[in-house]
Amino acid sequence: MIKSKIHDNIGQNISNKEKTALRKIIRAKNNKIVIIDTDKNMGAADADKKDVVFECARQLLNIKTYLKFSEEDLKSIISDIQKYTKNGQWMSHVQRKLY
């Protein structure tokens, strides 16, 4: 009963015309336009692929936001997390290694 009541109040957040256009873009496998999720679950959006790739690279290469690790460092961190999650002390140990 609750499930049926919940679905009564839920509608789609895009028009049928927008939904059709979105399907066409997805089916066409357009290499210039990509469909991405928006922030805060506001639905899908289309964007120029070059812009999306540029923005992703800009953010991921920002050393103030993301630390760059070698593959060896990452394997060591993963190993430590796996080892220390068993006794609940992994966070302090990993933080000491990172900082």
Same domain, 40 and 58: yes
Which pLDDT band holds residue 54 (cuts at 50, 70, 90)?
Answer: very high
Same domain, 52 and 20: yes
Contact assessment for residue 14 and residue 43, using Cβ atoms and an 8 Å cutoff: yes
pLDDT digits (tens, 9 = 90+) for 32-42: 888 888 877 77
Structural domain including 82 reads 69-99
Give the pLDDT confidence score for residue 42 in this predicted structure.
76
pLDDT digits (tens, 9 = 90+) for 6-29: 555 566 777 889 888 878 877 887
Same domain, 8 and 49: yes
Phi, psi of 22 (to 5 degrees): -65, -45
Q: How far apart are CA 24 and CA 17, in angstroms?
A: 11
Give the pLDDT confidence score for residue 99 in this predicted structure.
53
Tell me how many domains the chain contains. 2
Same domain, 18 and 48: yes
Same domain, 50 and 86: no
Give the residue among 61, 63, 28 at the shortest CA–CA distance from 46.
28
Per the DSSP assignment, residues forming a β-bridge with 36 are 45
Same domain, 12 and 30: yes
Same domain, 14 and 37: yes
pLDDT digits (tens, 9 = 90+) for 71-95: 999 999 888 888 777 665 655 555 5
Buried b (16+ CB within 10 A) or exposed e, 41-58: eeeeeeeeeeeeeeeeee
Same domain, 12 and 56: yes
